Structure 1
Amino acid sequence: MQSIFISGAAQGIGAAIATLFHQQGYKVGIYDINISQAEQLAQQLGNNAKAGLLDVSDYAQWQAALTEFTAWAGELNILVNNAGILYSGAFENTDIQSHHRTVDINIKGVLNGCHAALPFLKTASFARVINLSSASAIYGQPDLVSYSASKFAVRGITEALDIEWKKYGIRVLDVMPLFVQTAMVKNMDAASIDNMGVHLTASDVAKDVYSRARAKDTLFTATHLPVGLKTKVLFGLSSVSPQFVNRLSNLLIARRK
C-alpha cells in the first residue's frame, strides 16, 4: 500500500486530495496548522488516515512530521505541497507583512517540504512530488502580485527539481488550476476572478493530482498540468504568443468593469 503526505490537508483542495487517495487505497497523511480540523477529517476517513500538526514555514516541524508519518506508513511515496495562502487587492493596499507571509508559506513551505522529504523519498520503492502551482504562474496577475509571484516560484522549483532529482528516480510535477471553489477565493478583490469566473471544484483538482501520481515516468510526461479548459487555453497560448499579446490578454482579464 503506497502512502501520500499532504500539507494544508484539513480543508479545501488538500482535504479533497486526502479523501480521493484514501478511497483509492493509499495511506494518507493529513497535516495542517489547524490540527483539530485535520484530526476531524482523519476520523471521518477512518483506517489508513493519520492527522498531524504542520506549519509549513517551520523546517523543524517538517522534519518531525515526515519522520512521524513515515514511521506510521512504512515509507513516503508521494509528497503533495498543497498548503498556501492568498491576499488580493492593490499591491500597496496589502501590508508588507502579508506579502512576506505569502512568501513564507507558498514558497518557503515548498522548499522546506521538498528539502525535508528527500531523505525519505530516496529510500522509497516509488517516489514522486506533486506541487500545487496555479494559472497565476502563466503570467503575472495584477491584484494578486505576491500570490502570483509565489506560484511562479513553485513553477520554477518544480521544473528545476524534476531535472535535478532524475538521478534519484523522483519525478517532481505540478498542477496549475485557475480559481477553485474554496474558502481561499471568497471575497477576493481581483477583477480577474469576476471576469474569468470560478468553475473548478476541489474535487476537480484532486482528480488531476491523482492522475499526476499515477502518470508513467516517460520523456513525454509533462512537468506541468493545467487544470480546466480555460487554464489549458491560457497555458497553450502563452507558449506561442508574443509577449505583448500575453500582456494585452492579461490586461483585458484584469480590467475592472
Structure 2
Amino acid sequence: MKQTILISGAGQGIGAEIAKTFYDHGYYVGLFDLNIQAVDTLAQQLGSRAYSGYLDVSDYASWQTALEQFMTWAGQLNILINNAGILYSGCFESINIEAHQRTMAVNCMGVLNGCHAALPYLKQSNFARVINLSSASAIYGQADLASYSASKFAVRGLTEALDIEWSKYNIRVLDVMPLFVQTAMVKDMDAGSIQNIGVDLTPRDVAIEVLKLAQKEQTTFQATHTPVGLKTKILYQLSSVSPQLINRLSNLWLSRRNKS
C-alpha cells in the first residue's frame, strides 16, 4: 500500500537522514527546505519516489503552497515530519533579539503552521500521523540555550495537546526528544551542557526512532513522547520523579562550563 511522508528541513542533518530512511522503506518522500538546491540534489540521489520543494516554515502561505505541490505529486499525506529548526547558543543577553525571535519563528511557529496547514490533508488519509522534532532541552530549561529550549517546550506542549485533540480524527501527534546530535547545528555550540554531556547520537539514531513511530501500531497507551538515546531516557525519567529542587541543581551542574 502506498505510504507518503512530507519532511520539513530535509536538506541536511536529521531531516535528510529521515528522508533516506523512509525512502529505503518504500515511502514516497517529500523533501522541503529553504535550501532548495540541497533538497533538489537529495531527491535526485534518492530516485523517482522523492519530490523536492521550497518551504519557509515560518510562513503559513509557504506551507500552503508546499502542501498543494506535494498533494498534486503524491495524492495523499500520511506522515508529516516537522523537523526544521535552528539553534543559537550562548548567554541569553549576548544573543541579539532578532536571533531569539527567529528561533521562535522557525522552531515554534514552524511546527504550529505545519500542523494547522496539513490537517485537512491528513484527515483525508486512511492512516495519518504527525511526528514533531522536540528535544531533550524540553525536559528542563537549558542555560545558554534559553530560546531554543523554550521553543522546544512549545513543541512539546503543542504535541501533547494535539495528540489528545486529534484523536477524534484517529490521528496520533507524537514527538521525538533527542539529546545533542552530530549535525552542523551543534558545531561550535557555546553551552556548558554539551561539554559535560557530549554528542553521542547520530542523525541515523533519530531517523530510526521516527520510522518506528510511523510504522508502529498506535494504541491509547502509546506514549506521546519518545526520548532518543540512553542519556536522554535517564534525564527524562529522573525529571519525572525528582523534586523540582533536585532537577534545578542537576541542570545547574550540567550547565557549568569547563575552565580552559
Deviations 1:144-185 (A, max 9, x none): 000000000000000000000000010000000000000000
Match of 1:180 in 2: 181
Secondary structure class of the residue paired with 2:204 = helix
Aligned-partner Cα distance in 1 for 2:70–2:13: 21
> Can you give the 5+ residue segments of structure 2 that lack an aligned partner in the other structure?
none
Give 1:21 shift. Answer: 0.1
Aligned mates of 2:249, 2:221 — CA distance in 1: 31
Corresponding position of 1:141: 142
Match of 1:247 in 2: 248
**Aligned residue for 1:126?**
127
Corresponding position of 1:208: 209
Q: Where does 1:39-54 land on structure 2 (aligned, <5 Å)?
A: 39-54=40-55
Alpha-carbon displacement from aligned partner over 1:98-117 (angstroms, at most 9, x marks no partner): 00000100000000000000
3-state SS of 2:130 partner: strand
The amino acid of 1:138's aligned partner reads I
Q: Report the TM-score, using the length of structure 2 for normalisation.
A: 0.98
Residue in structure 2 matched with residue 90 of structure 1 by the alignment: 91
Match of 1:151 in 2: 152
* Deviations, residues 203-256 of structure 1 (Å, cap 9, x unaligned): 000000001101212122100000000000000010011000100110111011
> How many residues get paired?
257
Residue 187 of structure 2 is aligned to residue 189 of structure 1: no
Q: Structure 1: 5+ residue runs without aligned partners? A: none
Q: Distance in 2 between matches of 1:22 and 1:47?
A: 10
Q: 1: CA distance between counterparts of 2:37 and 2:45?
A: 12
Match of 2:19 in 1: 18
Aligned residue number for residue 169 of structure 2: 168
8 Å contact from structure 1 (residues 215, 221) kept in 2: no
Paired-residue identity, %: 68
* CA displacement at 1:71 relative to structure 2: 1.5
**Separation of aligned partners in 2, 1:125 and 1:11:** 30
Work out the CA distance in 2 between the residues paired with 1:151 and 1:194: 21
| Counterpart residue type for residue 182 of structure 1 | T
Work out the CA distance in 2 between the residues paired with 1:178 and 1:127. 27
Q: Is the 8 A contact 1:136 1:151 kept in 2?
A: yes
Measured after TM superposition, the shift of residue 130 of structure 1 is 0.1
Measured against aligned partners, the alpha-carbon deviations of 1:61-93 in whole angstroms (never above 9, x if no partner) come to: 100101110121110000000000000000000
| Two-structure CA RMSD over aligned residues (Å) | 0.5
> 1:175 aligns to what SS in structure 2?
strand
Give the structure 2 partner of residue 2 of structure 1: 3
Amino acid at match of 1:14: G
1:70 is matched with 71
Within 2, Cα distance between the matches of 1:214 and 1:46? Answer: 22
- Partner AA of 1:40 in structure 2: T
